[in-house]
Amino acid sequence: AVIFVTVASSILAWVIDHWILIPSHLQPVLQITSFILVIGSFVGLVQIYLKKASPNLYKAMGIYLPLIATNCLILGVTFINSMNNYDFIQSIVEAIGISLGYTLAMIMLAGIRERLRNSDVPQFFKGKAIAFMISGILALAFLGFQGMIK
């Protein structure tokens, strides 16, 4: 759902930004509002679709589905595309790449947390403390990839 919302929001936000906001000189005033409305609309569409197509998945996702709208990744992608003046194709590729990277990071964190449950972790590190430490180490590992592709 995050990948779909990110890519679809990026596409529609690019269209709104380049065809409406920039020509009418409203970009500084309405950009945040329009991007949030676009993201919220796509999250609503995903909710409606999942409720009809897969009620079990809809119930399993529960409260986490509406929280996609508050995911800063999606809003960040739309702003990155706008600030860097990406064309339409670059915006789509950027959105796909960022959302796939986010998915990879979430899968890795879930796998690491699963392994930590079965590991002998000192009591004062259990729970959120070790999760934050692992997240920081993983962030440093991903930082090593920065600038590899230009």
Residue span of the structural domain in which 68 resides? 2-119
Report the pLDDT averaged over residues 36-65: 86
Asked whether residue 14 is assigned to any structural domain, the reply reads yes
- Average pLDDT score over residue span 37-45: 88
The answer to the question of residue 125 being in a domain is: no
Res. 67: pLDDT tops 80: no
User: In degrees, to the nearest 5, what angle opens at C-alpha 41 toward C-alphas 7 and 30?
Assistant: 90
Q: What is the CA 12 to chain-centroid distance, rounded?
A: 15
Structure tokens, 46? 């995903």
Does the residue 82 lie in any domain?
Answer: yes
Predicted confidence band of residue 150 (pLDDT cuts 50, 70, 90): low
Token pair listed for 9: 């929001």
| In-domain check, residue 102 | yes
Mean pLDDT over residues 38-57, rounded? 88
- Residues whose CB falls within 8 Å of the CB of residue 8, separated by 6 or more in sequence, listed in order: 42
pLDDT at 58: 83
Q: Looking at the domain assignment, is residue 145 inside a domain? A: no
* Averaged confidence pLDDT in the chain: 85
**Domain count of the chain?**
1
> Lowest mean pLDDT: which of 94-98, 105-109, 131-135, 143-147?
143-147
- The answer to whether 7 touches 72, Cβ cutoff 8 Å, is no
In a domain, 77, yes or no: yes
Residue 129 belongs to a domain: no
> Is 67 within the bounds of a domain?
yes
- 86-119 pLDDT, tens digit per residue, is 999 999 999 999 899 888 888 888 888 888 888 8
pLDDT level of residue 62 (50, 70, 90 thresholds):
confident
